[in-house]
């Protein structure tokens, strides 16, 4: 129980009740309430005072002086004096008091005097405030106020920012190239950005409340439903796809859409769909795809390989046909190398060694200043060591004169090259035969006209000749000229037949054929005493063109007879035929005049005569060689002047024994 403030006025029950009430009130105060007698001794302290300064026993009946800061004693005395002088006015002062915890408490006091009925001061009462607490409270209040202001400021700023960002978001969505719609969980549109109208043709108002999937082009509705289903199943995951939409104006467009399920986000509560018109892009892609397909078909059908070299990156790509042409592994169609030199080196390894230097030089020139690289060269395919011809045409793209890229096409031209070579040799053969034809026409006309002229001369002599014996002599000369004419004409016929008539293959009976040839040379053998011997096999199988074989043998035989050596005791010709693996060797040997060494090379030329003794056309050996070649055979000769000649003909059998 607390003591009520003691008063000199005695105690009634009413007073006691009032006093108790007052005490309760006093104790419930957070300020200090104290009273002193006229000596300055404590007569009352309230609970708040006890809490801060110590139990009342330390104070009641004791002087106040030790309970204030020594420096404040004076202030107290002045205040007491003032209060005594003007007890009714009350006096206010600030002092420091030692607290229980040893610290001093700055406190503000207001004292007033309690008067008796005569108006004399009997007691002083004071109310004190803990200035420290108050100041702390004030400071706290100020800090709180400041914090509140700061928070308020922040709130304002963030509100401004929010407004700004909302504005920004709004303008972004509204100006965005992408259209934005938001769906609820059932796929109904809850928001549509103004840009949705430019894509779909419907205003946001028309769109809101309708089903998003209903705008999909009928065939693509499953896609729309699948995308929505995926988005529902995977919150926050970006689900993207491409599909066709039916615009309000009926046009079907392609859109690319990204759905994000933010249904759980309380600020959104929807599935956001960003989408844009990619019709033009799709058409472009389609055009590119079609173009690529066309290019692929064209390059495929023309068997052209395409390569692309990114020069600064040292990156080379090529298609499957380049691999096929060069004999490289088809799966290996792109490669990086360390440098341009390395790239060229790798390529040159495939190039035929004889063409390497030329194409390397060309490539280096092209890289330095050229606009393109065009070359034909041989390669040795790494896979099968086959030699092939390739043709390359490449374009060089430059920037600041530096080569950036080389794009080229390549094709295998081996077949063309072979045909070209064939054509070239055909042309050469044609030129040769043209020259020969000219020569032929010139010489033939000479060879035909010479005997005719001599016949005409002889005939005019004969007309004036009456002597019988002379007439006989001239007639013999006419006959010789006619034989020469006949010989030339039959040579021409042989030549012509050889070039035009197809080669026929028949089994040859040499004894029969050679006997027939000797018979046909009766006129020649009749005038010249040459012994003809033969050594012929009875039983060999050999098949060739009989007419052509006759031309060969009869020409060689007639030459050996014609060019007999008059000095020889007995001129002779020997014909022998021997079998070989593939066919026969025909050897016609004589002991005639022989052919001088310097003429031997030319005796097979057309119209070449090596001897004064020749009365022929000079066509015989030329025809023999041509015919031999036609029968896929070879001819060679050896000869010694004054000793004789030997002609060797090797012929393959053109058919097997049946
Ligand atoms: P020709 O019509 O002059 O006989 P050929 O083409 O048959 O023409 O022969 C060419 C030349 O080769 C002859 O003119 C002749 O000088 C020489 N010749 C050919 N065969 C013999 C041979 N067996 N002995 C010597 N010379 C020959």
Q: How far apart are CA 299 and CA 303, in angstroms?
A: 6
Probe residue for ligand 1, chosen from 559, 616, 619 as the CB with the greatest number of ligand atoms within 8 Å: 559
Q: Judge whether residue 554 has pLDDT over 60.
A: yes
Is there an atom of ligand 1 within 6 Å of 614 CB? yes
Strand positions, DSSP E, 413-529: 506-507
Ligand 1 pocket check for 558: Cβ under 6 Å: no
Per-residue pLDDT band at 636 (split at 50, 70, 90): very high
Our mutation pick for probing the ligand 1 site, out of 567, 574, 610, 637, counting the most ligand atoms within 8 A of Cβ, is: 610
645 CB under 6 A from ligand 1? yes
d(CA 617, ligand 1 centre) in Å: 9
Lowest mean pLDDT among 237-251, 296-310, 327-341, 594-608: 327-341
* 67-76, 103-112, 549-558: segment of lowest average pLDDT: 103-112
Residue 554 CA, ligand 1 centroid: distance in Å: 13
Distance 614 CA to ligand 1 centre (A): 7
Please report the pLDDT score of residue 166 as a whole number. 63
Cα separation, 32 vs 48, in Å, equals 6
CA dihedral 419, 421, 425, 427 (to 10 degrees): 70
**Which range, of 96-110, 196-210, 390-404, averages the lowest pLDDT?**
96-110
**Cβ–Cβ contacts within 10 Å for residue 614, how many?**
14
Q: What are phi and psi of 47, to 5 degrees?
A: -60, -40
How far is ligand 1, taken at its centre, from the CA of residue 187, in Å?
A: 110
Angstrom distance (rounded) from CA 66 to CA 44: 16
CB 289 within 8 A of CB 282: no
Helix (H/G/I), strand (E/B), else coil: 1: coil
Ligand 1 lined by 559 (C-beta under 6 Å): yes
CA of 534 to the centre of ligand 1 (A): 21
Q: Please give the pLDDT value at position 498.
A: 87
Cβ(447) to ligand 1 under 6 A? no
| Tens of pLDDT, residues 393-431 | 999 999 988 999 999 999 999 999 999 999 999 999 999
On the question of pLDDT at 294 being above 70, the answer is yes
CA of 329 to the centre of ligand 1 (A): 62
What length does the chain have? 658
Between CA 587 and CA 419 the distance in angstroms is 39
- Arithmetic mean of pLDDT over the chain: 86
Dump pLDDT digits (tens) for 438-480.
887 887 788 788 889 889 999 999 998 889 999 999 999 999 8
- In this predicted structure, what is the pLDDT of residue 472? 93
556 close to ligand 1 (CB < 6 Angstrom): no
Give, for ligand 1, the residue of 486, 558, 614, 623 to mutate: max count of ligand atoms closer than 8 Å to Cβ.
Answer: 614
The pLDDT tens digits for 311-361 are 888 888 888 888 889 888 776 677 777 788 888 888 899 999 999 999 999
pLDDT over 70 percentage in the chain:
90
Q: Give, using CA atoms, the residue closest to atom 8 of ligand 1.
A: 618
Q: CA–CA separation, 107 vs 97, rounded Å?
A: 7
- For ligand 1, whether the C-beta of 610 sits within 6 Å is yes
Alpha-carbon Rg for the chain, nearest whole angstrom, is 68
Atom of ligand 1 nearest to the CA of 491: 2
Beta carbon of 593 within 6 Å of any ligand 1 atom: yes
Pocket test for ligand 1, best of 483, 609, 617 (most atoms within 8 A of CB): 609
**Is the CB of residue 560 below 6 angstroms from any atom belonging to ligand 1?**
yes
Q: Looking at ligand 1, which atom is closest to the CA of residue 616?
A: 2
The rounded Å distance from CA 600 to ligand 1 centre is 10
Ligand 1 contacts CB of residue 603 (under 6 A)? yes
d(CA 210, CA 188): 5
- From 566, 612, 621, the mutation candidate for ligand 1 (largest count of ligand atoms within 8 A of CB) is 621
Q: Is the pLDDT of residue 8 over 60?
A: no
């Amino acid at each position: 129980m607390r003591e009520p403030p003691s008063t000199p006025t005695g105690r009634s029950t009413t007073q006691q009740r009032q006093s108790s009430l007052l005490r309760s009130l006093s104790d419930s105060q957070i300020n200090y309430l104290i009273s002193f007698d006229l000596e300055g001794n404590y007569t009352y302290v309230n609970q708040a005072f006890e809490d801060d300064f110590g139990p009342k026993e330390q104070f009641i009946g004791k002087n106040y002086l030790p309970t204030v800061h020594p420096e404040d004693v004076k202030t107290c005395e002045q205040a007491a004096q003032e209060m005594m002088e003007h007890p009714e006015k009350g006096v206010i002062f600030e002092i420091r008091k030692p607290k229980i915890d040893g610290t001093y408490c700055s406190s503000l006091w207001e004292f007033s005097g309690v008067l008796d009925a005569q108006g004399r001061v009997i007691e002083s009462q004071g109310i004190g405030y803990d200035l420290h607490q108050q100041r702390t409270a004030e400071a706290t209040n100020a800090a709180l106020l400041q914090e509140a202001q700061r928070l308020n400021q922040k709130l304002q700023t963030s509100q401004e920012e929010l407004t700004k960002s909302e504005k920004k978001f709004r303008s972004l969505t509204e100006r965005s190239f992408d259209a934005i719609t938001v769906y609820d969980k059932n796929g109904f549109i809850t928001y549509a950005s103004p840009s949705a109208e430019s894509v779909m043709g419907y205003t946001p108002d028309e769109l809101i409340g309708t089903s998003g999937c209903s705008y999909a082009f009928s065939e693509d509705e499953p896609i729309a439903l699948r995308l929505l289903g995926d988005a529902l199943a995977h919150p926050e995951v970006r689900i993207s796809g491409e599909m066709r939409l039916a615009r309000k104006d009926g046009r079907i467009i392609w859109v690319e859409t990204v759905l994000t399920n933010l249904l759980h986000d309380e600020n959104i509560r929807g599935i956001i769909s960003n989408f844009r018109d990619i019709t033009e892009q799709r058409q472009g892609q389609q055009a590119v795809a079609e173009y690529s397909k066309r290019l692929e078909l064209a390059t495929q059908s023309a068997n052209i390989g395409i390569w692309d070299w990114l020069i600064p990156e040292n990156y080379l790509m090529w298609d499957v046909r380049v691999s096929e042409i060069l004999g490289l592994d088809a799966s290996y169609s792109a490669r990086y190398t360390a440098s341009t030199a390395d790239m060229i080196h790798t390529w040159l390894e495939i190039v035929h060694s004889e063409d390497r230097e030329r194409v390397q030089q060309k490539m280096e020139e092209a890289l330095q200043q050229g606009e393109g690289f065009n070359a034909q060269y041989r390669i040795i395919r790494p896979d099968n060591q086959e030699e092939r011809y390739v043709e390359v045409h490449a374009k060089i793209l430059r920037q600041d004169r530096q080569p950036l890229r080389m794009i080229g096409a390549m094709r295998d031209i081996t077949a063309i090259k072979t045909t070209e070579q064939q054509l070239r040799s055909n042309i050469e053969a044609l030129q040769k035969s043209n020259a020969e034809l000219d020569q032929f026409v010139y010489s033939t006309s000479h060879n035909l006209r010479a005997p005719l002229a001599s016949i005409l001369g002889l005939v005019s002599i004969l007309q004036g000749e009456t002597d019988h014996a002379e007439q006989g002599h001239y007639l013999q000369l006419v006959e010789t000229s006619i034989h020469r004419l006949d010989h030339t004409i039959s040579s021409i016929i042989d030549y012509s037949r050889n070039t035009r008539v197809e080669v026929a293959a028949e089994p040859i009976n040499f004894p029969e054929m050679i006997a027939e040839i000797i018979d046909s040379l009766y006129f020649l053998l009749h005038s010249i005493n040459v012994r003809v011997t033969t050594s012929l096999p009875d039983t060999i199988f050999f098949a060739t063109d009989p007419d052509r074989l006759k031309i060969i043998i009869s020409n060689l035989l007639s030459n050996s007879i014609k060019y007999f050596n008059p000095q020889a005791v007995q001129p002779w010709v020997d014909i022998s035929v021997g079998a070989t693996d593939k066919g026969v060797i025909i050897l016609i040997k004589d002991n005639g005049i022989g052919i001088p060494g310097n003429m031997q090379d030319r005796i097979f030329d057309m119209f070449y005569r090596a001897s004064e003794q020749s009365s022929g056309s000079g066509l015989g050996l030329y025809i023999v060689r041509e015919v031999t070649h036609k029968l896929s055979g070879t001819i060679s000769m050896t000869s010694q002047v004054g000793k004789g000649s030997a002609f060797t003909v090797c012929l393959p059998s053109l058919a097997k024994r049946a």
